[in-house]
Chains A and B, each alone.
Chain A
Amino acid sequence: MTVVAMVNGMIGGLILVLPIMALNAGYIFTLIVIAITGFLSWYSCFLCVEHC
Protein backbone atom coordinates (compact mmCIF):
# COMPACT_ATOMS: atom_id res chain seq x y z
CA MET A 1 0.00 0.00 0.00
CA THR A 2 2.90 2.36 0.79
CA VAL A 3 4.48 1.88 -2.64
CA VAL A 4 1.13 2.16 -4.41
CA ALA A 5 0.34 5.42 -2.59
CA MET A 6 3.70 6.89 -3.59
CA VAL A 7 3.36 5.79 -7.22
CA ASN A 8 -0.15 7.22 -7.40
CA GLY A 9 1.03 10.50 -5.90
CA MET A 10 3.88 10.60 -8.40
CA ILE A 11 1.83 9.93 -11.52
CA GLY A 12 -0.45 12.90 -12.01
CA GLY A 13 -1.95 15.06 -14.73
CA LEU A 14 1.26 15.02 -16.75
CA ILE A 15 0.29 11.66 -18.22
CA LEU A 16 -2.13 13.50 -20.53
CA VAL A 17 0.69 15.64 -21.91
CA LEU A 18 3.50 13.09 -21.85
CA PRO A 19 2.71 11.34 -25.19
CA ILE A 20 2.84 14.66 -27.06
CA MET A 21 6.00 15.72 -25.23
CA ALA A 22 7.63 12.37 -26.04
CA LEU A 23 6.65 12.77 -29.68
CA ASN A 24 8.30 16.20 -29.78
CA ALA A 25 11.37 15.12 -27.83
CA GLY A 26 12.09 12.03 -29.94
CA TYR A 27 12.24 8.42 -28.77
CA ILE A 28 15.97 8.39 -27.87
CA PHE A 29 15.78 11.67 -25.96
CA THR A 30 12.66 10.38 -24.18
CA LEU A 31 14.63 7.35 -22.99
CA ILE A 32 17.46 9.53 -21.67
CA VAL A 33 15.38 12.34 -20.14
CA ILE A 34 13.08 10.04 -18.15
CA ALA A 35 16.05 8.01 -16.87
CA ILE A 36 18.04 11.06 -15.72
CA THR A 37 15.17 13.00 -14.14
CA GLY A 38 13.94 9.85 -12.43
CA PHE A 39 17.35 9.07 -10.99
CA LEU A 40 17.90 12.63 -9.70
CA SER A 41 14.48 12.75 -8.08
CA TRP A 42 14.95 9.32 -6.48
CA TYR A 43 18.36 10.35 -5.14
CA SER A 44 16.95 13.46 -3.44
CA CYS A 45 14.25 11.27 -1.84
CA PHE A 46 16.91 8.76 -0.82
CA LEU A 47 18.79 11.56 0.98
CA CYS A 48 15.56 12.59 2.76
CA VAL A 49 14.97 9.01 3.93
CA GLU A 50 18.56 8.74 5.15
CA HIS A 51 18.07 11.85 7.32
CA CYS A 52 14.65 10.88 8.69
Chain B
Amino acid sequence: MLRHFNGNKVIKIIYDIIVWLSLVLIDILYLSLIVVQWEGLVPPYEYTIVNPIVNAVLLFILVFVLKYFDFGATLMALGIVSIIAYVLFLIWVVVTYDQGYNNYEYIPFGTGYINMAAAMGQAFSIQSFFIPVLKKNKNPKRHGFYVLIAYVFGTIAYYYIAYMGSVGILHRDYVAASGVQVTIEGFFPTGAW
Protein backbone atom coordinates (compact mmCIF):
# COMPACT_ATOMS: atom_id res chain seq x y z
CA MET B 1 0.00 0.00 0.00
CA LEU B 2 2.76 2.45 0.88
CA ARG B 3 4.30 2.14 -2.58
CA HIS B 4 1.56 4.50 -3.83
CA PHE B 5 2.94 7.14 -1.43
CA ASN B 6 6.64 6.74 -2.22
CA GLY B 7 6.94 4.63 0.93
CA ASN B 8 6.16 7.68 3.09
CA LYS B 9 3.70 6.93 5.90
CA VAL B 10 3.14 10.64 6.69
CA ILE B 11 1.85 11.30 3.16
CA LYS B 12 -0.49 8.33 3.50
CA ILE B 13 -1.86 9.65 6.80
CA ILE B 14 -2.42 13.11 5.28
CA TYR B 15 -4.14 11.47 2.30
CA ASP B 16 -6.40 9.44 4.63
CA ILE B 17 -7.34 12.54 6.64
CA ILE B 18 -8.23 14.47 3.48
CA VAL B 19 -10.40 11.60 2.23
CA TRP B 20 -12.07 11.34 5.65
CA LEU B 21 -12.76 15.10 5.74
CA SER B 22 -14.30 14.99 2.27
CA LEU B 23 -16.59 12.16 3.40
CA VAL B 24 -17.61 14.14 6.50
CA LEU B 25 -18.59 17.09 4.30
CA ILE B 26 -20.59 14.81 2.00
CA ASP B 27 -22.31 13.30 5.08
CA ILE B 28 -23.33 16.77 6.26
CA LEU B 29 -24.69 17.62 2.82
CA TYR B 30 -26.72 14.41 2.55
CA LEU B 31 -28.07 14.66 6.10
CA SER B 32 -29.27 18.18 5.33
CA LEU B 33 -31.01 16.89 2.18
CA ILE B 34 -32.71 14.11 4.18
CA VAL B 35 -33.86 16.64 6.79
CA VAL B 36 -35.35 18.84 4.05
CA GLN B 37 -37.20 15.83 2.61
CA TRP B 38 -38.72 14.96 6.01
CA GLU B 39 -39.79 18.60 6.51
CA GLY B 40 -42.12 18.20 3.56
CA LEU B 41 -43.45 14.80 4.67
CA VAL B 42 -44.37 15.10 8.35
CA PRO B 43 -46.10 17.76 10.50
CA PRO B 44 -45.49 20.57 11.37
CA TYR B 45 -44.01 20.76 7.80
CA GLU B 46 -41.16 23.00 8.90
CA TYR B 47 -37.73 22.62 10.45
CA THR B 48 -37.54 21.42 14.04
CA ILE B 49 -34.48 20.28 16.00
CA VAL B 50 -36.09 16.82 16.44
CA ASN B 51 -35.82 16.18 12.68
CA PRO B 52 -31.98 16.06 12.28
CA ILE B 53 -31.50 14.31 15.64
CA VAL B 54 -33.97 11.48 14.90
CA ASN B 55 -32.58 11.08 11.37
CA ALA B 56 -28.98 11.00 12.60
CA VAL B 57 -29.73 8.36 15.25
CA LEU B 58 -31.74 6.16 12.88
CA LEU B 59 -29.13 6.44 10.11
CA PHE B 60 -26.39 5.58 12.59
CA ILE B 61 -28.26 2.41 13.57
CA LEU B 62 -28.93 1.62 9.89
CA VAL B 63 -25.23 1.91 9.07
CA PHE B 64 -24.35 -0.60 11.81
CA VAL B 65 -27.05 -3.03 10.65
CA LEU B 66 -25.90 -2.80 7.01
CA LYS B 67 -22.30 -3.27 8.05
CA TYR B 68 -23.13 -6.24 10.28
CA PHE B 69 -25.06 -8.06 7.56
CA ASP B 70 -22.70 -6.84 4.80
CA PHE B 71 -25.76 -5.71 2.89
CA GLY B 72 -24.76 -2.18 1.78
CA ALA B 73 -23.78 -2.87 -1.85
CA THR B 74 -26.88 -4.99 -2.45
CA LEU B 75 -29.16 -2.34 -0.95
CA MET B 76 -27.61 0.28 -3.22
CA ALA B 77 -28.66 -1.75 -6.26
CA LEU B 78 -32.29 -1.70 -5.08
CA GLY B 79 -32.27 2.10 -5.38
CA ILE B 80 -32.43 1.71 -9.16
CA VAL B 81 -36.21 1.43 -8.71
CA SER B 82 -36.47 5.18 -8.00
CA ILE B 83 -34.45 5.97 -11.14
CA ILE B 84 -36.76 3.81 -13.26
CA ALA B 85 -39.74 5.63 -11.73
CA TYR B 86 -38.19 8.97 -12.70
CA VAL B 87 -37.54 7.72 -16.25
CA LEU B 88 -41.23 6.77 -16.54
CA PHE B 89 -42.23 10.16 -15.09
CA LEU B 90 -40.21 11.90 -17.81
CA ILE B 91 -42.10 9.97 -20.50
CA TRP B 92 -45.34 11.39 -19.09
CA VAL B 93 -43.73 14.87 -18.90
CA VAL B 94 -42.83 14.76 -22.61
CA VAL B 95 -46.17 13.30 -23.70
CA THR B 96 -48.00 16.18 -21.95
CA TYR B 97 -45.33 18.78 -22.71
CA ASP B 98 -47.46 21.38 -24.51
CA GLN B 99 -49.13 23.37 -21.74
CA GLY B 100 -49.38 26.53 -23.82
CA TYR B 101 -46.54 28.48 -22.22
CA ASN B 102 -43.62 29.88 -24.21
CA ASN B 103 -41.37 31.27 -21.46
CA TYR B 104 -38.33 29.28 -22.52
CA GLU B 105 -36.35 28.81 -25.70
CA TYR B 106 -34.26 25.70 -26.37
CA ILE B 107 -31.03 26.98 -27.89
CA PRO B 108 -27.92 25.05 -29.02
CA PHE B 109 -25.36 27.17 -27.14
CA GLY B 110 -26.57 28.64 -23.86
CA THR B 111 -24.75 30.36 -21.01
CA GLY B 112 -25.23 27.74 -18.31
CA TYR B 113 -22.67 25.23 -19.52
CA ILE B 114 -20.10 26.08 -16.83
CA ASN B 115 -22.59 25.44 -14.03
CA MET B 116 -23.57 22.27 -15.79
CA ALA B 117 -19.96 21.09 -16.11
CA ALA B 118 -19.40 21.71 -12.40
CA ALA B 119 -22.53 19.77 -11.50
CA MET B 120 -21.78 16.92 -13.91
CA GLY B 121 -18.29 16.55 -12.44
CA GLN B 122 -20.01 15.66 -9.17
CA ALA B 123 -22.81 13.74 -10.85
CA PHE B 124 -20.46 11.22 -12.44
CA SER B 125 -18.34 10.82 -9.35
CA ILE B 126 -18.44 7.30 -7.93
CA GLN B 127 -14.83 7.28 -6.72
CA SER B 128 -15.80 7.47 -3.06
CA PHE B 129 -17.77 4.20 -3.02
CA PHE B 130 -17.18 2.06 -6.10
CA ILE B 131 -14.23 0.04 -4.77
CA PRO B 132 -16.29 -1.61 -1.96
CA VAL B 133 -19.00 -2.38 -4.52
CA LEU B 134 -16.45 -3.98 -6.86
CA LYS B 135 -14.94 -5.97 -3.99
CA LYS B 136 -18.29 -7.71 -3.55
CA ASN B 137 -17.90 -9.07 -7.08
CA LYS B 138 -15.83 -12.25 -7.24
CA ASN B 139 -14.50 -11.73 -10.78
CA PRO B 140 -11.68 -9.18 -10.46
CA LYS B 141 -10.57 -9.57 -14.08
CA ARG B 142 -13.81 -7.98 -15.23
CA HIS B 143 -13.83 -5.05 -12.76
CA GLY B 144 -12.56 -2.60 -15.39
CA PHE B 145 -15.28 -3.74 -17.78
CA TYR B 146 -17.98 -3.35 -15.13
CA VAL B 147 -16.86 0.22 -14.41
CA LEU B 148 -16.93 1.02 -18.13
CA ILE B 149 -20.44 -0.42 -18.49
CA ALA B 150 -21.61 1.54 -15.43
CA TYR B 151 -20.35 4.77 -17.02
CA VAL B 152 -21.95 3.93 -20.36
CA PHE B 153 -25.33 3.35 -18.66
CA GLY B 154 -24.84 6.44 -16.48
CA THR B 155 -24.06 8.62 -19.50
CA ILE B 156 -27.08 7.30 -21.43
CA ALA B 157 -29.28 7.94 -18.38
CA TYR B 158 -27.99 11.52 -18.01
CA TYR B 159 -28.52 12.23 -21.73
CA TYR B 160 -32.04 10.86 -21.49
CA ILE B 161 -32.89 12.91 -18.39
CA ALA B 162 -31.29 16.10 -19.77
CA TYR B 163 -33.05 16.02 -23.14
CA MET B 164 -36.40 14.52 -22.13
CA GLY B 165 -36.59 16.81 -19.10
CA SER B 166 -35.66 19.91 -21.10
CA VAL B 167 -38.23 19.28 -23.80
CA GLY B 168 -40.83 18.36 -21.19
CA ILE B 169 -40.58 21.67 -19.29
CA LEU B 170 -40.11 23.86 -22.36
CA HIS B 171 -43.79 24.80 -22.62
CA ARG B 172 -44.69 24.67 -18.95
CA ASP B 173 -44.91 27.44 -16.39
CA TYR B 174 -42.42 27.71 -13.59
CA VAL B 175 -44.43 28.12 -10.40
CA ALA B 176 -41.83 28.19 -7.62
CA ALA B 177 -42.71 30.53 -4.82
CA SER B 178 -39.18 31.92 -4.70
CA GLY B 179 -36.35 32.15 -7.19
CA VAL B 180 -34.16 29.94 -5.00
CA GLN B 181 -35.83 26.69 -5.94
CA VAL B 182 -34.43 25.48 -9.25
CA THR B 183 -35.46 21.84 -9.53
CA ILE B 184 -37.94 20.27 -11.94
CA GLU B 185 -40.38 20.03 -9.01
CA GLY B 186 -41.03 23.76 -9.48
CA PHE B 187 -42.86 22.94 -12.70
CA PHE B 188 -45.22 20.46 -11.04
CA PRO B 189 -46.95 22.02 -8.01
CA THR B 190 -48.75 19.72 -5.59
CA GLY B 191 -52.39 19.28 -6.54
CA ALA B 192 -51.94 20.42 -10.14
CA TRP B 193 -51.40 16.96 -11.66
- Write out the residue numbers on chain A whose beta carbons fall within 8 Å of the beta carbon of B4: 51
- Write out the residue numbers on chain A whose beta carbons fall within 8 Å of the beta carbon of B143: 49, 52
Bound complex: CA A8 to CA B119 (Å): 17
Cβ-neighbour of A19 out of B79, B120, B123, B168 (below 8 A): B168
Which one of A17, A44, A51 has the highest number of Cβ atoms from chain B below 10 Å of its Cβ? A17
- Write out the residue numbers on chain A whose beta carbons fall within 8 Å of the beta carbon of B125: 10, 41
Bound complex: CA A5 to CA B109 (Å): 34
Let me know if B151 and A29 touch, CB within 8 A.
no
- Write out the residue numbers on chain B whose beta carbons fall within 8 Å of the beta carbon of A6: 126, 130, 133, 146-147, 150, 154
Q: How large is the interface on B (under 10, 10 to 19, 20 to 34, 35 or more residues)?
A: 35 or more
- Write out the residue numbers on chain B whose beta carbons fall within 8 Å of the beta carbon of A26: 106-110, 112-113
Main secondary structure, interface of B, reads helix
- Write out the residue numbers on chain A whose beta carbons fall within 8 Å of the beta carbon of B115: 21, 24-25
Please report A residues at the B interface, Cβ cutoff 8 Å.
Answer: 1-38, 40-42, 44-46, 48-52
Which 9 residue pairs are nearest across A and B when measured between Cβ atoms? A19-B165, A24-B112, A26-B110, A41-B124, A22-B162, A6-B150, A37-B120, A16-B183, A29-B113
Known: A29-B109, A45-B126. 14 other contacts (CB 8 A): A4-B80, A6-B146, A7-B153, A7-B154, A9-B133, A10-B154, A21-B116, A22-B116, A24-B115, A37-B121, A41-B151, A46-B144, A48-B130, A49-B134
